[in-house]
Amino acid sequence: MDHLAPEQKTDAGLIPGYFDSHGWGFGVSIVNKRTKVGEVPGQFGWDGGLGTSWYSDPAERMVTILMTRQA
């Protein structure tokens, strides 16, 4: 569930248009509206800053974990 108020989304200063389809709740990003093939409403997760990503899709009962490494 999205826990941000509309005022918080406009003042966030993140990527323009990000909060048109995403929200924020319990420390993770939440997809509210499908804008890309791989994003499903209800999906939640986190993109890490050092090459890791994690997303869960409760409707499909699927978890995705991506870990990348540079040598």
* Residue 39 lies inside a defined structural domain of this protein: yes
What mean pLDDT comes out for the span 19-35? 85
Domain residue limits at 51: 6-67
- From CA 37, how far away is CA 51, in angstroms rounded? 21
Confidence of residue 10 (pLDDT cuts 50, 70, 90): confident
With left for phi above 0 and alpha for psi between -120 and 50, is residue 17 left, alpha or beta? left
* Residue 20 lies inside a defined structural domain of this protein: yes
Q: State residue 6 phi and psi, 5-degree precision.
A: -55, -35
How does the average pLDDT of the chain come out, rounded? 85
- From CA 25, how far away is CA 44, in angstroms rounded? 9
**pTM score, whole prediction:** 0.72
Number of domains in the chain: 1
63, pLDDT greater than 90? yes
23, pLDDT greater than 90? no
* Residue 18 lies inside a defined structural domain of this protein: yes
* Residue 17 lies inside a defined structural domain of this protein: yes
Q: How many residues does the chain have?
A: 71
* Residue 1 lies inside a defined structural domain of this protein: no
Is the Cβ–Cβ distance between 32 and 19 less than 8 Å?
no
